[in-house]
Structure 1
Amino acid sequence: MDPLLIVMVAVLALFIFFQFRNSKKRRAEQEKLQSKMVPGAEIMTQFGLYGTLLSIDEESNEALVETTPGTVLRVHRQTILKVVEDDAVEAEDTTDSVELDDDSEPAFGERVDKADSADDDGADKRDS
């Protein structure tokens, strides 16, 4: 037998083996996700939308997701990427607040109280 043919058959066999292994892994991950997807679970969609799963309709492949109280979105069931664990949501919700000194300028895009800025503008206009 030709050694090149043996190598090509071996590479083909490895390729087929890895294809089956990867499909088995994906199937197991999908089953794990399906078992976690119950109404009330916190989820994230493929486009980065976080919300609470309200219901899943298996026939039409649709899911109802509540993003904020009273806002319910209807999305395709396959767009649900993962069930978010409580630890991950709490870590994202913690934000550092920045406090300003009275004489410092606000950072770009930072909101300032309009009443404070109106008092300052009025004082500047009267002085000039």
Structure 2
Amino acid sequence: MNPNTAQLLFFGVIILIVIGLMFRNGRKRQRDAASMTSGLKPGAEIMTASGIFGRITAIDEAENRITLQTGPTSELTVHRQAISRIVTPVAEDGTSLNGEPVVLEDAGADPAFGERVEPAKQSDEDATRRSGGGAAKGSGE
């Protein structure tokens, strides 16, 4: 086989691999966008691209606008494409409590403001290791 032909064949294979990876990444992005769109429902907590957190109160499909409740009395209207991620999705089974959708809560959530949390107990070995060894315990001076 001619060296030029082998080189041309090698570059052709590389180009085909790159094109295949591009198609695969495009499909993955489409799947992620579809799952994000299906998760945008009233009651879901989201984060915008600018870092604003809020709960969806209304969705206007015709105008591609989403109304967010960012505080007790404040609401923002943002474009649908400004949503970067869903923080807390709405329950899939459609359950509601007093007419409001039930939102799935994070099991490892931080404690509420002002709530006391007991610190984890330290073993004697951990305390000795953090204090700089055994010199602090048994120096006898």
TM over 0.5: yes
C-alpha displacement of 1:58? 2.3
Deviations 1:23-52 (CA, angstroms, capped at 9, x unpaired): 111111111111111011111111111100
CA distance in 1, matches of 2:45, 2:107: 10
C-alpha displacement of 1:70? 1.8
Aligned runs of 1:87-106 on 2, under 5 Å? Answer: 87=106, 90-91=109-110
Alignment partner, residue 114 of structure 1? none
- Of residues 26, 31, 35 in structure 2, which corresponds to 1:32? 35
Please state if 1:62 is matched with 2:65: yes
CA distance in 1, matches of 2:28, 2:14: 21
Q: Structure 1 pair 95/21, CA: closer, same or farther in 2 (3 Å)? A: farther
Q: Which AA in structure 1 matches 2:72? A: P
Alignment partner, residue 87 of structure 2? 84
Superposition TM-score, scaled by structure 2 size: 0.60
TM-align CA RMSD: 2.3
Alignment partner, residue 44 of structure 2? 41
Gaps of at least 5 residues in structure 2 are 89-104, 116-141
CA distance in 1, matches of 2:70, 2:50: 13
- Secondary structure in 2 aligned to 1:87? coil
CA distance in 2, matches of 1:45, 1:95: 24
Q: Taking every aligned residue pair, what percent have the same amino acid on both sides?
A: 33
Alignment partner, residue 12 of structure 1? 15
Q: Which AA in structure 2 matches 1:36? A: G
State the number of aligned residues. 96
Superposition TM-score, scaled by structure 1 size: 0.66
Q: Which AA in structure 2 matches 1:59? A: A
C-alpha displacement of 1:94? 5.3
CA distance in 1, matches of 2:106, 2:53: 14
Gaps of at least 5 residues in structure 1 are 98-128
